[in-house]
Structures are given as structure tokens and as C-alpha cells.
Structure 1
Amino acid sequence: MSIFAIGLSGLRAAQAGLYTTSNNISNVNTEGYHRELLTLQPARTSGVSVNAPERQFNQFITTRLNAAQSSLASLDTYASQVQQLDNLLADERSGLNTVMDKFFGALSQLAGAPADPAAREGVLGAARSLTAQFRSFDTYLSDIEDGIDEQLRFTVDDINNQSAQIAELNREILVARATTGQAPNSLLNQRDAIVQQLNQNLDVKVLAQESGSYTVALANGLPLVAGEQSYQLAARPDVADPTQLALGYVGNDGNVQQLPEKQVQRGVLGGLMEFRSESLGKLQNQLGQLTVVFAQAMNTQHMQGTDLNQQPGAALFSTGATRSYAHDTNTGTAIPETTIVDAQSLLATDFAIAFDGSDYQVTRRDTGATVTASFDTATQSLSFAGLEVNFSGASAAGDRFLIKPLSGQAANFEMLVDEGAQLAAGLSSASGDNENALALAELQNTAVIGGKATFQQGYGAMVSTLGNQINLVQANQAAQQGLSEQLGLMQQAESGVNLDEEAANLIRYQQYYQANAKVIETGSTLLDTILALR
């Protein structure tokens, strides 16, 4: 090889180095860009050979970073949602303690003047304010639940779009490799950036194939992307609870397979589902429990007295209906209907019932713990935790049912008495009898919730439970944030662009170019000298 060819190969190498360095500098602020490094090697005879720029990419660190960011996205989502509940409970105007205090204060005034029309109207007014506040509280929680459904739909659509983009990039990368024989670094960066975004929405596993394409799968192994093929997710009503949305996987045949909620543990989807079950659902059930216990205790006591019309006291309050569902996949014809028998024995949770062909098994939905139940074959009724579930139709082995006795109670909490004279302040028709009013007022200090807590203590437990959840998620959020930042720095140390280093490379490749130009110039001078000697 002549001196000119050697110099020319050096010029080309220097140009390639300047191009690679310039590309790095131009993309210093580009999200998802990985620094490229030019590698040179001796040519087969003499001179230098230039390899394609290598992308500085560490799959191990990237996988760990994606997992950490997926967990952080879940915690961030949970924290932003639970803050809405904290704002609700922290607002005295929307809290329940104040209206309960006013109601019991009005009962105490009635006990002091049982025949006073103003005192009786005061009780009615306080009762109406109390029921309205309970309904408002429930409406706020329902609005949050509706918002969760909307976010689930939006996130699922986002995941489907990202899966389709990854599949398309797999195709383009394979075509580029086959055409040029080199790795298309720009396409690889785009694909890894979308995978990172996908991990923000849902925890996925990524497997790099020898061909250069990615296989992206859910935690249970179902593929979202396989080569050039992408698969879809769907937000659809839960087969066990039609009031909630569940995540479904759409197969090649178009059938939707519902994914268990426990398999969605990270990402925005995981945060939304965990918040719905761990915070929102629990608060709705606690509110329903407080409503039912309050109404039943007040009604029971009021019905023991006598009003000004010499009539027995009527029920003061009405509440909502229980909700019972048969699983969509049941083969039997049984339909459950639930009745609250003993409010004080209620547990603030939903229940799952499974029939094995001979017995019914009842479990708590919040903890999974088994609940003791008894079945009456004569009435086809199942009794447990203050509830009675009656089955119309026949159950088949494998049938499942969902019982939600509390979630809709506060939505229909109403005051039934509309005249002050109907308030049964006394236990008899004697003038000035205030015994029943005193008993009603004393319920404020009676442990009626599970036989362990007063009304105010029950509400305090709601606030305390939520506070503990907020503290826990904030602690986990801070720890996960630190881990994500640490892994991000590790990735940037390997893949990020360092402007000082690139500036030094510019000078180095510029000098390299000038030196090779000098080689060619020297060769030309030598050639001219040799020709002149002739």
C-alpha cells in the first residue's frame, strides 16, 4: 500500500472520529441517547480500518434502572392518589367528626327540653346535615374511583401504542442490519427509550434476541412484543366485580384473558390498582361500616321510645343496599342476595365466596383470611360476620361469588323523620320524659363498632389507617428515588456524553486529521522530487 493510501485511510478515520464526536456533542441533551465510541484497527496490509461506532450500552444496568424506575412510578402514582384522600380527611369542612358532634349536641339539647319545638327542629337539622355530609364524602370517593378508571384506560392505551412502536422498531432494526451489516444505533436508542417509557407504565421483562430484536413480556410470561408482532391489553369490567375495571390480555383469537391484580405490581398501572385496593377500597368500606352501625344503633334505640303523638318511635335513618355478584364464569344458576343482620359484627371488607361442590368457603378480600361461616340447607342461606347471604338457584362446583356489603351504604344515607313531633325523646308518654333522648345522646360514648370503638373512634381509625399508609409510601418513595438516581448516575457514567471528554476528542481527531494530511503532503513532495530527478 502506498503512502498516499495509508494517509487517506488515516484521513477517513479522522473524519469518522470527528463525525462520531460531533454526533455525541449534538445529542448531549437528547433523552435516551447513548454515547458512541469509534474503534480503529490495523488494516490487513497497512493503514487503518474504521469500525462502525459502538453504542455504549450496558444491558445489566439498564435492566436494573428500568425496574427501579418502574417501582418509583408505582409509588409516585400511589402517593399522588392517596394525597387526595389525605386532603379530604384533613379538611374540617368535609370531615365527619364535626357533624357527628353537632348531631349529638342537638340530642343533648333535646334531652334538656324534650317538649321544646326548637330543640326538636335542631335535631332534625343536625341529622340532615350529618347525612348530607356522609353522602358528600361518599361522592368524593366515588369520583376518585371514576378517575382511577379513566387513568387505567389511558395507561392501557399508552402501553398498547408503546408495544406497537417497539415491534415496528424491531422490524426496522432487522432491515437496517440486513442492509448495512451494522447496528443502527439511532433506532436502538429509540427502542430502548420506548422500553423505558413502557416500564414506567407496567413492569415488563425484556429479552434481547440474537437477531437484534427484543421480546417484551409481562411478569407472567405473556408476550407484549415478539419480534415484529405486538399484543394488546384491555381495560374491561372485572369478571368478579363489574363495578371495577381489570386488566385483560388480548390473545391472537381476540379473546380477553383477565390478569390477576397481584401480577401488576409496578408502574403506573400497579400504583393505581394498589391504591384502589389498599387505600380507596378500605376507606369506602370503613365509611360504609360507620354509616350502617350509626344508622342501626340510632334506629334501634329510637324505636324503643315514644314520640309526641304517643306513637312508638320509627326508624330515624335509612342506608344503601348491599351488593352481591356471581362470577361471570359460574356454571351454576345461584344468585346471591345479602342482608345485614348485625351491624356491630360487620367487618370493613368485601368477601369472596367459593363453592367446592359441598361447602362454601368465605375469605376476606383485604387480607385473604378465612372467615367462619355456617350454611343453612333449609333456607339456602350462608351466615358470617353479621351478614346473611341467601342463594336463589343452585350452585355448581367451582362457582364463586363476591359480597360487597358496605361500599354503597353512605351513598343513600337519609333521614327518615321529617317532623319534630316524631322524635321519640321519652320512653313513655309522660310529659317531660327525656330518657330516650339521653340514651340516644349516650350512644356517642358507646363502643358500637365491632363492640370496640365509638363512632368518633371509628372515624379516627379511618384517619389513622390512611396516615400510616401515607407514611409508608413516602418512606418507600424516598428510598426508591435514591436507588433510581444512583442507577441513573451509573448509566450516565457509561452511556452519557461528557462534553469535556468530547472536546478533547475533537482536538485529538483534528490533530490526527492534520497529521495524515501532512503524510499525504509529504508523499506528494517525495514523488515530485523523484520525478524532478529524471
Structure 2
Amino acid sequence: MSIFSTGLSGLNAAQNALSTTSNNISNVYTPGYNREVTLLGESRADGGVEVNDIQRQFNQYVASQLNAATSKSSALEAYRQQVDQIDSLLADRDAGLAPLMQNFFSALEDLASAPADPAARQGVLGSVDTLSAQFRSFDGYLQDMQEGINGQIADEVTQINNTTEQLAGINREIILARARTGEAPNGLLNQRDQLVNALSERMDVRLNIQDGKTYNVSLPNGQPLVAGTNHYKLQAMESPADPQRSVLGYRDFAGNLVALEENIVTGGTLGGLMDFRAETLDKTQNQIGQLAVSLAVGVNAQHREGLDLNSEPGEALFTIGAPQAYSYDRNSGSAVASPRFDEANLDGLRASDYTIRVLADNPSTAGGFEVVRKDSGTAVEALFASDTLSFAGVQVDFQGLSSAKQGDRFEIQPVRRAAAGIESAIRDLDKIAAASNSGGSGNNENALRLQELQEQSLVGGSASFSGAYGVMVSDVGNRTNIVQANLDAQQGLTDQLRAVQQSESGVNLDEEAANLIRYQQYYQANAKVIETGQTVIDTILGLRN
């Protein structure tokens, strides 16, 4: 190879190196960009240099670790943002339920001191109204959060579908580029890896690299989201068990929309929202409902034991929301479930939802059903008589039970929205039953019995009203602290992995500035080689003349 060819090869190599360095510098702040390095090698001819590759500095293992960590961080951040709202709601001592329950029992104490005093009676009704309104307010706030979660799930699904569609499109472009040139442009590879990272922020996915080239993405249960150049859409849909609840739907190969189990979705913002709903929001709403039912039923039962100023038996002081029931949309039978509170066994009422499964066609005994607590997954003992299934402080009446088929299911929510229906049932001051049946209409014995309910274990048979509320506040506070601690630890790990990734794939401006000078000198040196060759030729030609 001549001196000119050698110099030209060096000029070409230097030009490529300078172009690569320039590209690195210009993309220093581009999200997802991976630093490129010009790999040089000795020419296969007699001398000179050649450019073997423009290689991007990308470590698949580190990227996978970072995606997994990012997914967990996003889930915890979404969880924290939501649980902070409930914690702030319950921790407000001025706006909480505890002082209002105390005011209610203080009003009963005043009534016991002056059972015929209209002011004392008005104080009781006023405290009933205020306490009921706060229960409804709490339930409304939590229900708004439920609806907000539904909306956020729909938004996240839209973004996930957009990302998987783009990912399938990038796969297609990479295949075409490889078919044309044998190599995929680094820019397309960077875009694809950035899309996988963006997808990980929204939900945990599984990445499989087919033949070391094509990216296939699937849900943790193996259902594909991206398979080569094809993408499969998710859909936010009503839960088959609860039409008020949005869950993730997936179209199977027959085109049917199938609801995915909520525990399949983990990680990312979507997984964090669903975890928060299942672990904290549902539980808190049920605890508020359980407290409202226990208070209303307990007070009503005692109030009925007394006499009002008209010497009439006391009526209910509170109204309360009824339990809810939903039939699964794929039930084969047409039986309908109608739940109600079992006031005689209200100690068994728990802050939980239940699933009733029919184990045999036309069930006629308790053995024909299975009742499972949704919060723990444990089976609950039930009794059955006259088409009524009784368990955990609830009685479920069935209509058309003879049509029930094996596999039919019913969702029972005894206390989920109970607090939404709590109100004062009395407006007439004379109807407050402060007296006992035995002492005439002017005594205070029933007012004293009502006041004593404050210290009795009426919530789940194990806690007082204030005690149950304190446990609920403590539960949410502990959950908030745990999530924050986990988020801090996970964010630290994510930051470490991001630093490792940037040390290998990120652009260092100081390093690139040094490369710019180095390759500039390299270019100038090769230009000098060509200039020297030209001088030699000119000298030789001069000798001939």
C-alpha cells in the first residue's frame, strides 16, 4: 500500500472518530442515548487502518437491572402519593372522626343530666347530624379516590398501548435496516431500549431478546405485549366481580376480552396504583364502613330499649347503608344475592369483602357454597337455611337459587359503602328515648346505657369505637411510613444502578473534549503523511527534470 493510501485510510479513520465524538457531544442530554466509540483495526491490505465498527456502549445486564429497579421505584412512588392522602385525612385531629364521636357521647351525657331538656335533646340530634355528615364525607373522599384510581388506570393503559405500538414499529424498522445494510442504526437501538425503560416505569414486564436481535415483551404471566412486529393491546375494563372497579383486560387469540387477575400487574405506576387500592384503600373504606355500622346498629339497638317523651318505644337513631352484592358477569345461573346485616351476630362483622362460590347446582346446604375473605383468602364458616346464607355478621338472601349453577360467584361487600348511607333517623326531639321501659318517660336510665356504649367492644366484638378508629389511623400511618422507607431504599438502589449505567453508557464531556483534541491531532498527522508523500513525489519529479 502506498504512503497516500495509508494516509487516506488514517484520514478516513480520524474523520469517523471525530464524527462519533461530535455525535456524543451533541447528544449528551438526549434521554436514552448511549455513548458511541469508533473501533479501529489494522487494514487487511498491506497497511493502513480501517474502521471496524461504531459501537454503542450498552450493557444489557445493567439495563435490565435498572429497568427492574425503576419499575419498583415507580410503583412505590405511586403508592406513596396515594397513601399520603389518606394519612393526611385520618391524621387531622380537628377534622377526624374521634372528636366527633366524643362529642356525640358527651351530648348523651348532657342528656342523661337533663333528659327532658330540649337543649340537651337538640344537642344529641345535632351531634348525630355532625357525626353522620363526617362519616359520609370520609366515605365520599375515599370513593372519589376509588374513581380516581379507575381514571389513572385507564390513562396508564393508554400510555402502555402507545409504547408497545412504538416498540413493535421500532422492531420493524430495525429488521428492515438489517436487511438493507446488515446492521441496525445505533439510533434505532437506543430508541428501542428507551421505550423498554419507559414501559418499565408504567408496569413490570418481561423482556426476551429473540436471536439476540428482536425484542419481545410480555406480562409476568407470559401473555405477549410485543411479539416481533406485532403488538397486543391492554384495555381498562369493569371488573367482572365489581362494576365500580376498573381492572386490566386482555384480548385472547379468539378476540375475547378477558379480565386479568389484579395480582398479575406488578411494578410501575400501574402496579403501584393497584397495590394501593387492594392493600390500603379498600381496607380503609371497609374499616370506616365497619365503624359506622357498629356504631349505628349498637346505638339503634339500645335506643329501641328505651321510651321517648311520648312513652313510646324508641326508634332507630341512625340509618345506615345496606351491604352490596354483585353477580359475576359470567355466571351461568340467574340467582340473585341480596345481603343484609345480621344484627344478632354483628360481633362477627369484619372490614372485608367476600366472594361466594357455588359448588353445586341448585345448592340446598351450606356445603353447596364456599365463602372466602378477599383480604386474606381464607375460607369462612357459613350457615344455610331457607335460601339464606349467614356468615360474618351478614345474611345473604338468594332469589332464584334453584337456577344457580356450579361455578357461579357473587361479590359481597358488607361495609364498603355503608358509611355513605349513615344519617340521622330522627328529627323530632320528643322521639329521643332517654328513659328506660321500667322507669317512666322522664328518667335517664336509657341515656346512661347509651353513653356506656362508648366503652363497650362493639366493633368486631373486640374494640370500642375510639379504639377501632385509633387502630385504623395507626394502620394507615404505619403503612405510610413503611412505603416511604421502602421508597427511599429502592430509590437509592435505582440511583446507584443509574450511575453504573451512566458510567458505562453516558457521555462524559471532559472525556469527549479530550477525544476531540486527540482525533484532531490524529487527523492532522495523517494529513501530514499525505503532504510528506506529495513532497517526496515532487522531489523525485524534480530530479528527473
Runs (5+) with no aligned partner, structure 1: none
Question: What CA distance in whole angstroms lies between the structure 1 residues aligned with 2:163 and 2:410?
Answer: 36
When structure 1 is superposed on structure 2, of 175-184 and 83-92 the one drifting more is: 175-184
Root-mean-square deviation (CA), in Å? 1.3
For 1:459, which of 450, 466, 469 is the aligned residue? 469
Asked if residue 251 in structure 1 is aligned to residue 252 in structure 2, the reply is: yes
SS state of the match for residue 307, structure 2?
A: coil
For 1:430, which of 414, 431, 440 is the aligned residue? 440
Q: Which residue in the other structure is 2:363 paired with?
A: none
For 2:307, the aligned partner's letter is T
Q: Which residue in the other structure is 1:385 paired with?
A: 392
Question: What CA distance in whole angstroms lies between the structure 2 residues aligned with 1:382 and 1:430?
Answer: 41
Question: What CA distance in whole angstroms lies between the structure 1 residues aligned with 2:82 and 2:249?
Answer: 23
1:111 offset after TM fit, Å?
0.3
Q: Please report the TM-score for the alignment, with normalisation by the length of structure 2.
A: 0.96
SS state of the match for residue 283, structure 2?
A: helix
Contact 1:174 1:211 in 2 (8 A): no
1:489 offset after TM fit, Å?
1.1
Question: What CA distance in whole angstroms lies between the structure 2 residues aligned with 1:431 and 1:214?
Answer: 81
Contact 1:9 1:48 in 2 (8 A): yes
Q: Over residues 326-349 of structure 1, what are the superposed CA-to-partner deviations in whole Å (9 max), with x where a residue is unaligned?
A: 211111222111111032220110
1:98 offset after TM fit, Å?
1.1
Contact 1:293 1:343 in 2 (8 A): yes
Q: Over residues 279-327 of structure 1, what are the superposed CA-to-partner deviations in whole Å (9 max), with x where a residue is unaligned?
A: 1100110011011110111111000111101111111111112111121
SS state of the match for residue 116, structure 2?
A: coil
Question: What CA distance in whole angstroms lies between the structure 1 residues aligned with 2:37 and 2:252?
Answer: 42
When structure 1 is superposed on structure 2, of 264-273 and 379-388 the one drifting more is: 379-388
Q: Over residues 357-410 of structure 1, what are the superposed CA-to-partner deviations in whole Å (9 max), with x where a residue is unaligned?
A: 26211111001111111222xx12211111111222232111221110111111
Q: Which residue in the other structure is 1:276 paired with?
A: 277
For 2:59, the aligned partner's letter is N
Q: Which residue in the other structure is 1:3 paired with?
A: 3
Contact 2:356 2:410 in 1 (8 A): yes
Q: Which residue in the other structure is 2:316 paired with?
A: 315
Q: Please report the TM-score for the alignment, with normalisation by the length of structure 1.
A: 0.98
The number of residue pairs the alignment matches comes to: 532
When structure 1 is superposed on structure 2, of 67-76 and 45-54 the one drifting more is: 45-54
SS state of the match for residue 479, structure 1?
A: helix
When structure 1 is superposed on structure 2, of 85-94 and 54-63 the one drifting more is: 85-94
Runs (5+) with no aligned partner, structure 2: 361-366
Question: What CA distance in whole angstroms lies between the structure 2 residues aligned with 1:324 and 1:504?
Answer: 71
When structure 1 is superposed on structure 2, of 317-326 and 389-398 the one drifting more is: 389-398
Q: Over residues 410-447 of structure 1, what are the superposed CA-to-partner deviations in whole Å (9 max), with x where a residue is unaligned?
A: 11101011011110110146364000000101111111
Q: Over residues 17-40 of structure 1, what are the superposed CA-to-partner deviations in whole Å (9 max), with x where a residue is unaligned?
A: 001011111111211110001101
Question: What CA distance in whole angstroms lies between the structure 2 residues aligned with 1:318 and 1:312?
Answer: 17
SS state of the match for residue 271, structure 1?
A: helix
1:253 offset after TM fit, Å?
4.1
For 2:420, which of 411, 414, 423 is the aligned residue? 411
Contact 2:207 2:218 in 1 (8 A): yes
For 2:356, the aligned partner's letter is I
SS state of the match for residue 39, structure 1?
A: strand
Q: Over residues 55-87 of structure 1, what are the superposed CA-to-partner deviations in whole Å (9 max), with x where a residue is unaligned?
A: 111111100110010011000000000000011
Question: What CA distance in whole angstroms lies between the structure 2 residues aligned with 1:10 and 1:457?
Answer: 82
Q: Which residue in the other structure is 2:351 paired with?
A: 348
When structure 1 is superposed on structure 2, of 416-425 and 392-401 the one drifting more is: 392-401
Q: Which residue in the other structure is 1:339 paired with?
A: 340
1:226 offset after TM fit, Å?
1.0
Contact 2:373 2:380 in 1 (8 A): yes
Question: What CA distance in whole angstroms lies between the structure 2 residues aligned with 1:533 and 1:61?
Answer: 64
Contact 1:52 1:182 in 2 (8 A): no
Contact 1:70 1:200 in 2 (8 A): yes
Q: Which residue in the other structure is 2:92 paired with?
A: 91
Question: What CA distance in whole angstroms lies between the structure 2 residues aligned with 1:431 and 1:448?
Answer: 27
Contact 2:337 2:397 in 1 (8 A): yes
Matches within 5 A, 1:48-197: 48-197=49-198
Q: Which residue in the other structure is 1:470 paired with?
A: 480
For 2:515, which of 505, 509, 534 is the aligned residue? 505
Question: What CA distance in whole angstroms lies between the structure 2 residues aligned with 1:448 and 1:73?
Answer: 40
